[in-house]
Structure 1
Amino acid sequence: MSEIDPDKPLPHIESRKTVAKSRFFHVEQVDLTFSNGATRQFERMAGKGRGAVMIVALTDDDHMLLIREYAAGTHSYQLGFPKGLIDPGESPEQAANRELKEEAGFGANTLSRLHTVSMAPTFFSAHMHILIAEGLYAETLPGDEPEPLEVIKWPIDDVDALLAREDFVEARSIAALLLLQKWREE
Protein backbone atom coordinates (compact mmCIF):
# COMPACT_ATOMS: atom_id res chain seq x y z
CA MET A 1 0.00 0.00 0.00
CA SER A 2 1.41 3.40 -0.94
CA GLU A 3 1.25 6.62 0.99
CA ILE A 4 -0.86 9.58 -0.09
CA ASP A 5 1.13 12.18 -2.05
CA PRO A 6 -0.35 15.59 -1.19
CA ASP A 7 1.73 17.26 -3.92
CA LYS A 8 0.63 15.01 -6.79
CA PRO A 9 -0.32 17.29 -9.68
CA LEU A 10 -3.87 17.28 -10.97
CA PRO A 11 -4.43 16.12 -14.54
CA HIS A 12 -4.23 18.89 -17.13
CA ILE A 13 -7.58 19.78 -18.73
CA GLU A 14 -6.93 19.84 -22.48
CA SER A 15 -10.49 20.74 -23.47
CA ARG A 16 -14.07 20.87 -22.23
CA LYS A 17 -17.28 20.95 -24.22
CA THR A 18 -20.97 20.66 -23.49
CA VAL A 19 -22.45 17.39 -24.74
CA ALA A 20 -25.96 17.70 -23.22
CA LYS A 21 -27.94 20.38 -21.44
CA SER A 22 -31.38 20.65 -19.90
CA ARG A 23 -33.08 22.97 -17.48
CA PHE A 24 -31.40 21.21 -14.54
CA PHE A 25 -28.38 19.39 -15.95
CA HIS A 26 -25.30 20.38 -17.88
CA VAL A 27 -23.11 17.47 -19.02
CA GLU A 28 -19.64 18.25 -20.26
CA GLN A 29 -16.94 16.17 -21.89
CA VAL A 30 -13.49 16.73 -20.41
CA ASP A 31 -10.26 15.67 -22.16
CA LEU A 32 -7.46 15.14 -19.64
CA THR A 33 -3.72 14.44 -19.65
CA PHE A 34 -2.33 12.85 -16.49
CA SER A 35 1.17 13.46 -15.09
CA ASN A 36 2.34 10.10 -16.48
CA GLY A 37 1.25 11.09 -20.01
CA ALA A 38 -1.92 8.98 -20.07
CA THR A 39 -4.94 10.68 -21.67
CA ARG A 40 -8.60 10.07 -20.92
CA GLN A 41 -11.96 11.49 -21.81
CA PHE A 42 -14.51 11.85 -19.00
CA GLU A 43 -18.09 13.06 -18.92
CA ARG A 44 -19.28 14.88 -15.84
CA MET A 45 -22.15 16.98 -14.59
CA ALA A 46 -20.94 20.57 -14.60
CA GLY A 47 -21.72 22.23 -11.28
CA LYS A 48 -22.63 25.81 -10.59
CA GLY A 49 -20.27 25.90 -7.63
CA ARG A 50 -22.67 27.13 -4.94
CA GLY A 51 -23.48 23.70 -3.49
CA ALA A 52 -26.36 22.65 -1.31
CA VAL A 53 -27.31 22.22 2.33
CA MET A 54 -28.92 19.50 4.41
CA ILE A 55 -30.31 20.40 7.80
CA VAL A 56 -30.48 18.11 10.83
CA ALA A 57 -33.04 20.07 12.85
CA LEU A 58 -33.14 19.15 16.54
CA THR A 59 -36.14 19.95 18.69
CA ASP A 60 -35.77 20.61 22.42
CA ASP A 61 -37.19 17.20 23.37
CA ASP A 62 -34.69 14.77 21.78
CA HIS A 63 -36.41 14.63 18.42
CA MET A 64 -35.32 15.60 14.93
CA LEU A 65 -37.39 16.84 12.02
CA LEU A 66 -37.64 14.80 8.83
CA ILE A 67 -39.38 15.64 5.57
CA ARG A 68 -41.39 13.25 3.45
CA GLU A 69 -41.42 14.37 -0.17
CA TYR A 70 -41.77 13.04 -3.69
CA ALA A 71 -38.54 11.83 -5.32
CA ALA A 72 -38.87 11.88 -9.11
CA GLY A 73 -35.77 9.71 -9.65
CA THR A 74 -37.36 6.72 -7.90
CA HIS A 75 -41.01 7.74 -8.42
CA SER A 76 -41.68 7.33 -4.71
CA TYR A 77 -42.15 9.30 -1.52
CA GLN A 78 -38.94 9.42 0.51
CA LEU A 79 -38.15 10.39 4.08
CA GLY A 80 -35.05 12.50 4.72
CA PHE A 81 -33.69 15.69 6.18
CA PRO A 82 -34.68 19.10 4.77
CA LYS A 83 -32.30 20.16 2.01
CA GLY A 84 -31.86 22.53 -0.90
CA LEU A 85 -29.54 24.55 -3.07
CA ILE A 86 -27.55 27.53 -1.85
CA ASP A 87 -28.83 30.64 -3.62
CA PRO A 88 -26.40 33.22 -5.07
CA GLY A 89 -24.97 35.38 -2.29
CA GLU A 90 -26.04 33.04 0.54
CA SER A 91 -23.76 31.37 3.05
CA PRO A 92 -24.50 27.72 3.88
CA GLU A 93 -25.99 28.89 7.20
CA GLN A 94 -28.32 31.38 5.49
CA ALA A 95 -29.39 28.76 2.96
CA ALA A 96 -29.98 26.20 5.71
CA ASN A 97 -32.20 28.58 7.69
CA ARG A 98 -34.16 29.53 4.57
CA GLU A 99 -34.65 25.89 3.48
CA LEU A 100 -35.70 24.89 7.00
CA LYS A 101 -38.36 27.61 6.97
CA GLU A 102 -39.54 26.65 3.47
CA GLU A 103 -39.67 22.90 4.04
CA ALA A 104 -40.34 22.38 7.75
CA GLY A 105 -41.91 25.66 8.92
CA PHE A 106 -39.13 26.42 11.41
CA GLY A 107 -36.15 28.71 11.68
CA ALA A 108 -33.11 28.06 13.88
CA ASN A 109 -31.38 30.30 16.40
CA THR A 110 -28.19 28.24 16.10
CA LEU A 111 -26.74 26.57 13.00
CA SER A 112 -23.50 24.60 13.27
CA ARG A 113 -21.62 23.03 10.40
CA LEU A 114 -21.34 19.29 10.87
CA HIS A 115 -19.58 18.10 7.71
CA THR A 116 -19.38 18.59 3.94
CA VAL A 117 -20.01 15.62 1.65
CA SER A 118 -19.95 15.00 -2.06
CA MET A 119 -21.85 12.47 -4.09
CA ALA A 120 -20.13 10.49 -6.86
CA PRO A 121 -17.20 12.95 -7.20
CA THR A 122 -16.08 11.22 -10.40
CA PHE A 123 -19.23 12.56 -12.09
CA PHE A 124 -20.48 15.49 -9.97
CA SER A 125 -18.70 18.56 -8.64
CA ALA A 126 -21.42 19.47 -6.14
CA HIS A 127 -20.90 19.60 -2.40
CA MET A 128 -23.53 19.39 0.32
CA HIS A 129 -22.98 21.12 3.65
CA ILE A 130 -24.65 19.27 6.52
CA LEU A 131 -25.65 21.55 9.38
CA ILE A 132 -27.17 21.02 12.83
CA ALA A 133 -30.07 23.37 13.60
CA GLU A 134 -30.97 24.08 17.24
CA GLY A 135 -33.18 26.56 19.06
CA LEU A 136 -36.04 26.13 16.60
CA TYR A 137 -38.85 28.65 16.32
CA ALA A 138 -41.96 28.60 14.12
CA GLU A 139 -41.56 30.55 10.87
CA THR A 140 -42.64 29.67 7.37
CA LEU A 141 -41.40 30.88 3.99
CA PRO A 142 -42.96 29.92 0.67
CA GLY A 143 -40.97 27.16 -1.04
CA ASP A 144 -40.78 25.76 -4.54
CA GLU A 145 -42.28 22.35 -3.79
CA PRO A 146 -45.32 21.38 -5.89
CA GLU A 147 -47.23 20.12 -2.84
CA PRO A 148 -47.03 20.61 0.93
CA LEU A 149 -44.30 18.50 2.50
CA GLU A 150 -44.99 16.21 5.43
CA VAL A 151 -42.93 17.13 8.48
CA ILE A 152 -42.22 14.15 10.75
CA LYS A 153 -40.89 14.50 14.29
CA TRP A 154 -38.64 11.48 14.88
CA PRO A 155 -37.01 10.38 18.18
CA ILE A 156 -33.23 10.77 17.91
CA ASP A 157 -32.71 7.58 19.91
CA ASP A 158 -34.78 5.49 17.48
CA VAL A 159 -32.12 5.34 14.74
CA ASP A 160 -32.49 1.61 14.14
CA ALA A 161 -36.18 1.93 13.28
CA LEU A 162 -35.43 4.82 10.93
CA LEU A 163 -32.67 2.89 9.15
CA ALA A 164 -35.02 -0.09 8.78
CA ARG A 165 -37.59 1.94 6.82
CA GLU A 166 -37.84 1.37 3.08
CA ASP A 167 -38.41 5.09 2.49
CA PHE A 168 -35.28 6.29 4.33
CA VAL A 169 -32.60 5.30 1.82
CA GLU A 170 -30.92 8.46 0.54
CA ALA A 171 -27.18 8.11 1.18
CA ARG A 172 -26.73 11.76 2.21
CA SER A 173 -29.51 11.51 4.82
CA ILE A 174 -28.01 8.28 6.19
CA ALA A 175 -24.58 9.94 6.34
CA ALA A 176 -26.10 12.94 8.17
CA LEU A 177 -27.80 10.62 10.66
CA LEU A 178 -24.56 8.78 11.42
CA LEU A 179 -22.67 12.07 11.69
CA LEU A 180 -25.34 13.29 14.13
CA GLN A 181 -24.74 10.24 16.33
CA LYS A 182 -20.99 10.93 16.34
CA TRP A 183 -21.60 14.64 17.07
CA ARG A 184 -23.82 13.75 20.05
CA GLU A 185 -21.07 11.53 21.51
CA GLU A 186 -18.59 14.44 21.64
Structure 2
Amino acid sequence: MSSMPIPDQHLVEHTTGSEELLQGSFLHAFRDTVRLPDGRSATREYVKHPGAVMVVPMLDDGRLVLERQYRYPLQRVMVEFPAGKLDAGESTFTCAQRELLEETGYSATEWARAGMLHPVIAYSTEFIDIWFARGLTLGERHLDAGEFLDVFTATLPELLDWCRDGQVTDSKTLTAALWLQNLASGAWSLDWQPTASVVA
Protein backbone atom coordinates (compact mmCIF):
# COMPACT_ATOMS: atom_id res chain seq x y z
CA MET A 1 0.00 0.00 0.00
CA SER A 2 1.38 3.42 -0.95
CA SER A 3 1.31 6.34 1.45
CA MET A 4 1.58 10.10 1.09
CA PRO A 5 5.13 11.43 1.45
CA ILE A 6 6.00 13.04 4.78
CA PRO A 7 7.02 15.58 5.91
CA ASP A 8 4.91 18.21 4.14
CA GLN A 9 6.70 21.31 5.42
CA HIS A 10 7.59 22.40 1.87
CA LEU A 11 3.84 22.85 1.18
CA VAL A 12 2.80 24.69 4.36
CA GLU A 13 1.62 28.32 4.28
CA HIS A 14 2.33 30.45 7.37
CA THR A 15 -0.18 33.04 8.62
CA THR A 16 1.28 36.54 8.97
CA GLY A 17 -1.96 38.48 9.54
CA SER A 18 -5.72 38.01 9.91
CA GLU A 19 -8.75 40.23 9.35
CA GLU A 20 -12.30 39.39 10.43
CA LEU A 21 -14.77 39.96 7.58
CA LEU A 22 -18.06 38.74 9.06
CA GLN A 23 -19.37 37.44 12.36
CA GLY A 24 -22.78 35.99 11.58
CA SER A 25 -25.11 33.84 13.65
CA PHE A 26 -23.76 30.78 11.83
CA LEU A 27 -20.64 31.64 9.84
CA HIS A 28 -17.43 33.47 10.73
CA ALA A 29 -15.42 34.77 7.75
CA PHE A 30 -11.78 35.86 7.66
CA ARG A 31 -9.18 37.17 5.24
CA ASP A 32 -5.66 36.08 6.20
CA THR A 33 -2.31 37.10 4.82
CA VAL A 34 0.06 34.16 4.40
CA ARG A 35 3.65 33.54 3.50
CA LEU A 36 3.87 30.95 0.72
CA PRO A 37 6.51 28.21 0.62
CA ASP A 38 8.52 30.28 -1.91
CA GLY A 39 8.50 33.33 0.41
CA ARG A 40 5.91 35.40 -1.46
CA SER A 41 2.75 36.73 0.20
CA ALA A 42 -0.86 35.88 -0.67
CA THR A 43 -4.33 36.27 0.84
CA ARG A 44 -6.69 33.49 1.87
CA GLU A 45 -10.41 34.09 2.48
CA TYR A 46 -12.17 31.37 4.41
CA VAL A 47 -15.08 30.58 6.69
CA LYS A 48 -14.83 29.06 10.14
CA HIS A 49 -17.56 26.45 10.66
CA PRO A 50 -18.54 24.65 13.89
CA GLY A 51 -18.61 21.24 12.20
CA ALA A 52 -21.51 18.95 11.39
CA VAL A 53 -22.69 15.37 11.17
CA MET A 54 -24.40 13.27 8.52
CA VAL A 55 -26.45 10.18 9.36
CA VAL A 56 -27.01 7.30 6.93
CA PRO A 57 -30.17 5.61 8.29
CA MET A 58 -30.68 2.02 7.10
CA LEU A 59 -34.06 0.31 7.45
CA ASP A 60 -34.28 -3.43 8.17
CA ASP A 61 -35.39 -4.13 4.59
CA GLY A 62 -32.29 -2.40 3.19
CA ARG A 63 -33.96 0.84 2.15
CA LEU A 64 -32.28 4.12 3.03
CA VAL A 65 -33.90 7.13 4.69
CA LEU A 66 -33.28 10.32 2.69
CA GLU A 67 -34.51 13.89 2.59
CA ARG A 68 -35.51 16.51 0.04
CA GLN A 69 -34.70 20.02 1.21
CA TYR A 70 -34.53 23.42 -0.45
CA ARG A 71 -31.03 24.88 -0.27
CA TYR A 72 -31.15 28.62 -0.69
CA PRO A 73 -27.60 29.27 -2.02
CA LEU A 74 -28.27 26.88 -4.93
CA GLN A 75 -31.94 27.89 -5.33
CA ARG A 76 -33.00 24.26 -5.68
CA VAL A 77 -34.27 21.23 -3.79
CA MET A 78 -31.49 18.76 -2.97
CA VAL A 79 -31.64 15.04 -2.18
CA GLU A 80 -29.45 14.30 0.82
CA PHE A 81 -29.03 12.26 3.98
CA PRO A 82 -30.04 13.76 7.35
CA ALA A 83 -27.40 16.17 8.61
CA GLY A 84 -26.87 19.18 10.81
CA LYS A 85 -24.30 21.35 12.53
CA LEU A 86 -22.88 20.76 15.97
CA ASP A 87 -24.15 22.79 18.89
CA ALA A 88 -21.50 24.29 21.17
CA GLY A 89 -19.90 21.58 23.30
CA GLU A 90 -21.89 18.80 21.62
CA SER A 91 -20.26 15.49 20.64
CA THR A 92 -20.71 14.31 17.08
CA PHE A 93 -22.59 11.20 18.26
CA THR A 94 -25.03 13.24 20.35
CA CYS A 95 -25.53 15.52 17.36
CA ALA A 96 -26.12 12.51 15.09
CA GLN A 97 -28.80 11.13 17.41
CA ARG A 98 -30.44 14.53 17.72
CA GLU A 99 -30.47 15.32 14.01
CA LEU A 100 -31.82 11.88 13.06
CA LEU A 101 -34.72 12.24 15.47
CA GLU A 102 -35.44 15.91 14.77
CA GLU A 103 -35.41 15.65 10.98
CA THR A 104 -36.81 12.15 10.34
CA GLY A 105 -38.49 11.01 13.56
CA TYR A 106 -36.31 7.89 13.67
CA SER A 107 -34.22 6.65 16.57
CA ALA A 108 -31.67 3.85 16.20
CA THR A 109 -30.49 0.96 18.38
CA GLU A 110 -27.11 0.56 16.64
CA TRP A 111 -24.58 3.06 15.34
CA ALA A 112 -21.29 2.97 13.45
CA ARG A 113 -18.94 5.87 12.78
CA ALA A 114 -17.53 5.73 9.26
CA GLY A 115 -15.13 8.66 9.36
CA MET A 116 -14.88 12.33 8.52
CA LEU A 117 -15.50 14.39 5.39
CA HIS A 118 -14.12 17.86 4.57
CA PRO A 119 -16.61 19.10 1.96
CA VAL A 120 -15.15 22.50 1.00
CA ILE A 121 -11.41 22.47 1.72
CA ALA A 122 -10.66 25.54 -0.41
CA TYR A 123 -12.62 28.01 1.71
CA SER A 124 -13.97 26.50 4.92
CA THR A 125 -12.87 24.68 8.07
CA GLU A 126 -16.09 22.62 7.94
CA PHE A 127 -15.91 18.93 8.73
CA ILE A 128 -18.76 16.41 8.63
CA ASP A 129 -18.63 13.31 10.84
CA ILE A 130 -20.25 10.35 9.07
CA TRP A 131 -22.48 8.04 11.13
CA PHE A 132 -24.51 5.01 10.04
CA ALA A 133 -27.65 4.05 11.97
CA ARG A 134 -29.77 0.88 11.96
CA GLY A 135 -32.40 -0.79 14.10
CA LEU A 136 -34.65 2.16 13.36
CA THR A 137 -37.89 2.98 15.15
CA LEU A 138 -40.14 5.71 13.79
CA GLY A 139 -41.51 8.37 16.12
CA GLU A 140 -42.38 12.04 15.82
CA ARG A 141 -40.21 14.60 14.04
CA HIS A 142 -39.13 17.79 15.79
CA LEU A 143 -38.08 20.15 13.01
CA ASP A 144 -36.41 23.44 13.90
CA ALA A 145 -38.38 26.62 13.37
CA GLY A 146 -38.17 27.56 9.70
CA GLU A 147 -37.02 24.08 8.65
CA PHE A 148 -39.01 22.38 5.89
CA LEU A 149 -38.06 19.03 4.39
CA ASP A 150 -39.60 15.84 3.03
CA VAL A 151 -38.46 12.44 4.29
CA PHE A 152 -38.57 9.46 1.91
CA THR A 153 -36.92 6.09 1.37
CA ALA A 154 -34.95 4.63 -1.54
CA THR A 155 -32.98 1.53 -2.35
CA LEU A 156 -29.21 1.63 -2.81
CA PRO A 157 -29.50 0.97 -6.58
CA GLU A 158 -31.89 3.92 -6.87
CA LEU A 159 -29.50 6.19 -4.96
CA LEU A 160 -26.54 5.09 -7.08
CA ASP A 161 -28.52 5.77 -10.26
CA TRP A 162 -29.32 9.30 -9.04
CA CYS A 163 -25.64 9.88 -8.24
CA ARG A 164 -24.60 8.64 -11.70
CA ASP A 165 -27.24 10.73 -13.49
CA GLY A 166 -26.41 13.95 -11.62
CA GLN A 167 -29.69 14.12 -9.70
CA VAL A 168 -27.69 13.85 -6.46
CA THR A 169 -24.83 16.35 -6.32
CA ASP A 170 -24.55 16.97 -2.57
CA SER A 171 -20.98 16.07 -1.59
CA LYS A 172 -21.80 14.39 1.71
CA THR A 173 -24.48 12.22 0.09
CA LEU A 174 -22.08 11.25 -2.70
CA THR A 175 -19.56 10.25 -0.03
CA ALA A 176 -22.23 8.17 1.72
CA ALA A 177 -23.02 6.46 -1.60
CA LEU A 178 -19.34 5.51 -1.92
CA TRP A 179 -19.43 3.99 1.54
CA LEU A 180 -22.67 2.13 0.84
CA GLN A 181 -21.37 0.74 -2.44
CA ASN A 182 -18.22 -0.57 -0.77
CA LEU A 183 -20.18 -2.00 2.15
CA ALA A 184 -22.51 -3.81 -0.26
CA SER A 185 -19.55 -5.32 -2.13
CA GLY A 186 -17.85 -6.43 1.08
CA ALA A 187 -14.77 -4.29 0.39
CA TRP A 188 -15.37 -2.09 3.46
CA SER A 189 -16.89 -2.80 6.88
CA LEU A 190 -18.32 -0.92 9.83
CA ASP A 191 -17.93 -1.43 13.58
CA TRP A 192 -21.55 -1.48 14.76
CA GLN A 193 -22.23 -0.74 18.43
CA PRO A 194 -25.39 -0.56 20.52
CA THR A 195 -26.43 3.02 21.22
CA ALA A 196 -25.51 2.75 24.91
CA SER A 197 -22.01 1.50 24.09
CA VAL A 198 -20.98 4.26 21.69
CA VAL A 199 -18.13 6.35 23.05
CA ALA A 200 -19.16 9.92 22.20
Give the TM-score, by structure 1 length. 0.86
Cα separation, partners in 2 of 1:136 and 1:115, compared to 1, 3 Å: same
Name the SS of the counterpart of 1:68 in structure 2. Answer: strand
**Are positions 1:150 and 2:154 aligned together?**
no
Match of 1:114 in 2: 114
Following superposition, the deviation at residue 35 of structure 1 comes to: 4.2
Match of 1:4 in 2: 5
The worse-fitting range, judged by mean Cα deviation, of 161-170 and 171-180 is: 161-170
Following superposition, the deviation at residue 58 of structure 1 comes to: 0.2
Match of 1:34 in 2: 36
Deviation per residue, 1:102-126 (Å, 9 max, x gap) = 1111011112111211122121001
The worse-fitting range, judged by mean Cα deviation, of 113-122 and 125-134 is: 113-122
CA distance in 1, matches of 2:67, 2:82: 6
Contact 2:113 2:130 in 1 (8 A): yes
CA distance in 1, matches of 2:80, 2:58: 14
Structure 1 consecutive aligned stretches of length 4 or more whose deviation exceeds 4 Å: 164-167
Deviation per residue, 1:43-81 (Å, 9 max, x gap) = 111233xx1011110000010000111111122222110
Name the SS of the counterpart of 1:45 in structure 2. Answer: strand
Number of paired residues? 182
Cα separation, partners in 2 of 1:135 and 1:147, compared to 1, 3 Å: same
Structure 2: 5+ residue runs without aligned partners?
Answer: 187-200
Cα separation, partners in 2 of 1:174 and 1:84, compared to 1, 3 Å: same
CA distance in 1, matches of 2:85, 2:22: 22
Cα separation, partners in 2 of 1:159 and 1:95, compared to 1, 3 Å: same
Match of 1:65 in 2: 65
Q: Percent identity?
A: 25
Structure 1: 5+ residue runs without aligned partners?
Answer: none
Matched AA of 2:5: I
Matched AA of 2:114: L
Name the SS of the counterpart of 2:74 in structure 1. Answer: coil
